Structure 1
Amino acid sequence: MPDSGPLGTSLPGQRPTPPAAVPDAHAPAVADPPVTPSASGFLAALHPPVTIPDPTLPPPPAPAVRDTPDTTAPGSALQKFLPGPTGLGTTSLALVGKYKTSLPKPVTPAPPPPAEGRAVPGLYHHPVPEPDPARVEEVSRRIKRWAEDEVQLYPEEWEGQFDGFSVGRYMVACHPDAPTVDHLMLATRLMVAENALDDCYCEDHGGSPVGLGGRLLLAHTALDHFHTTAEYAPAWQESLTSDAPRRAYVSAMDYFVCAATPSQADRYRHDMARLHMGYLAEAAWAQTGHVPEVWEYLAMRQFNNFRPCPTITDTVGNYELPADLHARPDMQRVIALAGNATTLVNDLYSYTKELDSPGRHLNLPVVIAEREHLSERDAYLKAVEVHNELQHAFEAAAADLAQACPLPTVLRFLAGMAAWIDGNHDWHRTNTFRYSLPDFW
């Protein structure tokens, strides 16, 4: 790869235009925000997102902050470490404002009431604007249609659980810079497919640690294709339709590959291999009855975590973080910290749900309680502190990287990671169908 300057990194080129999505005859008109042409414009628009008013739809409500921010927090993650791009490759950004199209000013109605749910007391987080309700509704409609008609994901009796997952709200909150609903659907299908495999192979709906490795490996070939002889290829192809997780993996990955660059698709395959390795470690401990040391549990959670979701933020945003920039050790540290912090949010919000489920579920409060001989309450509160330290470490590492490599794609990718962390927390906080907090305060 050619050296483009003193930083020794490649500048992003023009991405190929993804193939047009198959039109959905049932889709209502949905207002999409403009594609942001620069990192500076993107960062300015991210809190809150900007939408173009659609005259065929009623005016959207003004964004509303959905929870009370921690008064000790210095501001949002983006405000903290991403003031705007400087340095190599940013000279032309000054031209962006010159060619902006003026937009009609929408009527601003009263803000909607805050969503249900409360944040874990003492948890360091940033509130986010209410997700665009038109986008949430459309993503929710499309993903259910995909799950039912394209991949036959779940039996009728699981429909309520699928609806209660609120994946449309989840993905709209996590990807505020997605230029279209089609781009949001790339992340939504993958999220649903990953969750289906976790449920059906590991957790609530028939999952078991026994034989998990074989099941995971065969499912992984839906993402990272098996290359074999003509005699054995048909049997593999047939296996890809044999259960709901594999059908979902195949379909979601096909959509993703059509929109992603080869580098982005390969990045996702590697992140999913990490995830599946984390599943196997947890399954091994379940089979042997081993309760890991706290550091061992956190090491497992660095692999069994949300990493595949925020690392596709550039594909969903319709740009690319080049492979050499993604591979930088400081970028890898930022990505790892982001995945670790978001996953501990899940540990904290799903704590009571897991205690009420059959069997023993490992999560950070449970491991701290056993290994450090603390009460359930004290262990939970210490887990909050561990999350907070990791979240602060993410923000500090992102700030350092933004200073060291202030390229527009790097800044935008960091902003996307921060937005995903914030959206993930807010989804956990507001999803009272799935989660409730312990009575420790």
Structure 2
Amino acid sequence: MPDPGPSPLQSSLPGAAASFTARVLADAAAHGFAVPQGLAEARPVPTEPGPEAPAGLPDGAGLSTGASSGFPSGLPTGAPAGLPTGTPVGAAAVATPVVVAPSRPDPGWVPRGPSGFGTAGLSLVRRAEPPALPAEPPALPAEPPAPADALIIPGLYWHPVPEPDPVRVEEVSLRIKSWALDEIQLYPDDWEGDFDGFHVGRYMVACHPDAPTIEHLMVAARLMVAENAVDDCYCEDLGGSPIGLGGRLLLAHTALDPLHSTAEYQPVWAESLHADAPRRSYRSAMEYFVRLATPSQADRFRHDMARLHMGYLAEAAWDETNHVPEVWEYLTMRQFNNFRPCPTITDTVGGYELPADLHAQPAMQRVLALAGNASTIVNDLYSYTKELASPGQHMNLPVVLADRESLSEKDAYLKAVEVHNDLMRDFEAASAELAAACPVPSVLRFLKGVAVWVDGNHYWHQTNTYRYSLPDFW
């Protein structure tokens, strides 16, 4: 599918202001340094009248300023083709944990890269003339505050997002419930409150504000609901058990990665995909997904779901043997049992494709791993009291820290906050370095989309008071 160019998203990625970017490029050109094409060939993008939201972090945050790069890592914004009227344009990141501070305005530049995919955008060229220095940036609009009833974890590093478009939220909410009830018979009547309380519509619209259509949002919504159905029904709250989990997960995974068997046994397998709610949800969600995804995107998602299932199995094995892992072991498990399948489809939901060779780059894999890890520790923090109230011992980072490092519950929770903050800053630094090193439009848009997903995921946890509450440590 074609690349529509950068999207107008809120971003937690470090961004350089227009004046700073121009000065760095001018200095590089004046001293004869080779400038990456995507940065050297920058040009302004006309935008529709209306409010703009800045993107990025304060001066120096997460920027690579060493001699090896010498370039800032700002990410472009601009309106992608086909974005529906009323789609919310994102807001900026916070400067420091908890205290929201304005960042510099986005310069409104996009790289003039190749028309198609490939490596042409990575070639090095010289700029004939240094760019003119723009005027000082204007006064910045206020950052969107956290909702009045939001759960605030003191010391947590996070970025505010605009309220999701209520029209889209309502439409996705109606459609996802119709899919769950009418198409796949996902849950019995007494689970309806929990389904509604999940707030799927608000979650998906917050995480994917650049989705060109409601159907693109629905692709993400169905997969999210299906993943949670498998987790709840096979692993946890709604009848899940570690006993026999491997067999159940393997059969469910074939709804994503189909079996190719003999004529005698293929129909029996196909019928098994309707046997229970998790398999019905996986089968249906994947059918919708492959209609919009490229073969490469679909294969990428299957790979990340296999990672997820392996993480489920590791946690189940520890549960069966009452083993509390070392902290590093727990974080290893969480790199697999985490949210990664969700941000990895950000390009499919956005209506474009990050080419497979660019997605497979080690630097991009590091960005995705850190995004998933930070987002999953967010879940550990917000679900802490919910899991304490559940039967048995739920494993999460504060629990593991308390056990393995002999900390009080409060100190273990606060250290888990620090672990999250370190992961977030590493994610942002890795994203910024990759953006500067590979300023290809699809890479830049994908990096912004992942950052938006990370922020939207936090927003959903922070505002979902139906599911979550905080410990009384303050």
TM-score exceeds 0.5 = yes
Q: 2:372 aligns with which of 339, 357, 379?
A: 339
Change beyond 3 A, Cα 1:250–1:139: same
Give the residue type in structure 2 aligned to 1:174: C
> Residues 93 and 102 of structure 2 are in contact (CA less than 8 Å); yes or no, is this contact kept in structure 1?
no
Residue 114 of structure 1 corresponds to 147
Within 2, Cα distance between the matches of 1:114 and 1:42? Answer: 19
Change beyond 3 A, Cα 1:354–1:254: same
Q: Is it true that 1:405 corresponds to 2:438 in the alignment? A: yes
Residue 248 of structure 1 corresponds to 281
Change beyond 3 A, Cα 1:134–1:40: closer
> By how many angstroms is 1:113 displaced?
9.6
Residue 210 of structure 2 corresponds to 177
> By how many angstroms is 1:40 displaced?
6.6
CA RMSD after TM alignment? 3.0
Q: 1:213 aligns with which of 246, 254, 257?
A: 246
> By how many angstroms is 1:46 displaced?
7.4
Within 2, Cα distance between the matches of 1:228 and 1:38? Answer: 41
- Gaps of at least 5 residues in structure 1 are 1-12, 16-36, 55-59, 93-110
Once the two structures are superposed, residues 111-139 of structure 1 have per-residue CA deviations (whole angstroms, 9 ceiling, x without a partner) of: 99935222211100000000000000000
> Residues 212 and 280 of structure 1 are in contact (CA less than 8 Å); yes or no, is this contact kept in structure 2?
yes
Once the two structures are superposed, residues 191-238 of structure 1 have per-residue CA deviations (whole angstroms, 9 ceiling, x without a partner) of: 000000000000011000000000000000000000000011111011
Within 2, Cα distance between the matches of 1:143 and 1:47? Answer: 32
Structure-1-length-normalised TM-score: 0.81
Q: 2:319 aligns with which of 256, 261, 286?
A: 286
| Matched positions, count | 383
Within 1, Cα distance between the matches of 2:91 and 2:222? Answer: 27
Q: 2:292 aligns with which of 246, 249, 259?
A: 259
Residue 131 of structure 2 corresponds to none
> By how many angstroms is 1:253 displaced?
0.1
Within 2, Cα distance between the matches of 1:336 and 1:286? Answer: 24
Within 2, Cα distance between the matches of 1:409 and 1:236? Answer: 38
Once the two structures are superposed, residues 390-438 of structure 1 have per-residue CA deviations (whole angstroms, 9 ceiling, x without a partner) of: 0000000000000110000000000000000000000000000000000
> By how many angstroms is 1:75 displaced?
5.7
Residue 5 of structure 2 corresponds to 38
Alignment of 1:263-412 (within 5 A): 263-412=296-445
Once the two structures are superposed, residues 19-55 of structure 1 have per-residue CA deviations (whole angstroms, 9 ceiling, x without a partner) of: xxxxxxxxxxxxxxxxxx422756787769987658x
Alignment of 1:29-68 (within 5 A): 37-39=4-6
- Gaps of at least 5 residues in structure 2 are 11-46, 56-77, 122-143
Change beyond 3 A, Cα 1:369–1:423: same
Change beyond 3 A, Cα 1:194–1:84: farther
Residue 67 of structure 2 corresponds to none
Change beyond 3 A, Cα 1:119–1:430: same
Within 1, Cα distance between the matches of 2:93 and 2:430? Answer: 27
Within 2, Cα distance between the matches of 1:413 and 1:213? Answer: 33
Residue 27 of structure 1 corresponds to none
Give the residue type in structure 2 aligned to 1:89: P
Residue 2 of structure 2 corresponds to 14
Within 1, Cα distance between the matches of 2:351 and 2:199? Answer: 24
Change beyond 3 A, Cα 1:190–1:279: same
> By how many angstroms is 1:61 displaced?
10
> Residues 94 and 101 of structure 2 are in contact (CA less than 8 Å); yes or no, is this contact kept in structure 1?
no
